[in-house]
Amino acid sequence: MKLYFYNSLTRKKEKFNSIKPGEAGLYTCGPTVYNYAHIGNLRTYIFEDVLKRVLIYNGYRVKHVMNITDVGHLSGDRDMGEDKMEKGARREGRTAWEIAEFYTRAFKSDIARLNIIEPDIWVKATDTIDDQIALIKTLEEKGYSYRTGDGIYFDTSKFKDYTRLSHQNIESLWEGARVEKNPEKRNSTDFALWKFSPEGVRRQMEWNSPWGTGFPGWHIECSAMSMKYLGEQLDIHCGGSDHIDVHHTNEIAQSEAATGKNFFNFWMHGAFLIIAGGKKMAKSEDNFLTLHNAFVKKGINPLVYRFAAFQTHYRKPMEYSEESIQASRNGLQHLQNQVRQAAQNSAGQKGAVIDEYKTKFLEAINDDLNMPRAMAVVQEMLKSRIGDADKHATIIDYDRVLGLSLDTVDQAEELPEKIKILVAERQAARNAKDWAASDRLRDTIQDLGYQVQDTKEGMQVIKT
Q: Nearer to ligand AMP by C-beta: 242 or 425?
A: 242
Closest contact distance (angstroms) between CB of 73 and ligand AMP is 7
What residues form DSSP beta bridges with 269? 239
Residue 74 as a binder of Zn ion (CB under 5 A): the answer is no
Q: At residue 394, what is the residue type?
A: T
Q: Which region among 35-43, 129-137, 352-360, 423-431 touches ligand AMP (by CB under 6 A)?
A: 35-43
Computed over its alpha carbons, how large is the radius of gyration of the chain?
25
Q: CA nearest 391: which of 425, 354, 442, 436?
A: 354
Percent helix, strand, coil in the chain (nearest 5)? 45, 20, 35
d(CA 239, CA 314): 11
d(CA 28, CA 229): 12
Residue 441 near residue 426, CB atoms below 8 Å: yes
Residue 40 as a binder of ligand AMP (CB under 6 A): the answer is yes
Site string for ligand AMP, 237-276 (x = CB under 6 A): --xx-xx--------------------------x-xx---
Closest contact distance (angstroms) between CB of 237 and ligand AMP is 11
Interface of this chain with Zn ion, residues 15 to 34, rule: CB under 5 A:
29
Number of residues that bind Zn ion (CB under 5 A): 2
The one of ligand AMP, Zn ion, none whose footprint includes residue 242, by CB under 5 to 8 A per kind, is ligand AMP
Residue 214 as a binder of ligand AMP (CB under 6 A): the answer is no
d(CA 75, CA 32): 11
Q: Nearer to Zn ion by C-beta: 192 or 222?
A: 222
Q: Which region among 37-45, 176-184, 190-198, 331-339 touches ligand AMP (by CB under 6 A)?
A: 37-45
The one of Zn ion, ligand AMP, none whose footprint includes residue 100, by CB under 5 to 8 A per kind, is none
Among 41, 189, 328, 366, binds ligand AMP (CB under 6 A): 41
Residue 290 near residue 109, CB atoms below 8 Å: no
Helices 96-113 and 84-92 cross at an angle (nearest 10°) of: 100
Which residue has its beta carbon closest to ligand AMP? 240
Site string for ligand AMP, 224-243 (x = CB under 6 A): ---------------xx-xx
The one of ligand AMP, Zn ion, none whose footprint includes residue 222, by CB under 5 to 8 A per kind, is Zn ion
Q: CA nearest 119: which of 230, 40, 268, 282?
A: 230
d(CA 464, CA 298): 9
Q: Nearer to ligand AMP by C-beta: 63 or 219?
A: 219
The one of Zn ion, ligand AMP, none whose footprint includes residue 367, by CB under 5 to 8 A per kind, is none
d(CA 274, CA 285): 12
Interface of this chain with ligand AMP, residues 280 to 309, rule: CB under 6 A:
280-283
The string of DSSP codes covering 255-280 is HHHHHSS--EEEEEEEPPEEETTTEE
Q: Nearer to ligand AMP by C-beta: 52 or 243?
A: 243
Among 222, 296, 332, 343, binds Zn ion (CB under 5 A): 222
d(CA 27, CA 49): 12
Residue 226: which H helix or E strand, with range? helix 218-230
Could you list the residues that contact ligand AMP (CB under 6 A)? 29, 31-32, 40-41, 43-44, 69, 239-240, 242-243, 270, 272-273, 280-283
Q: Which parts of this chain interact with Zn ion (CB under 5 A)?
A: 29, 222
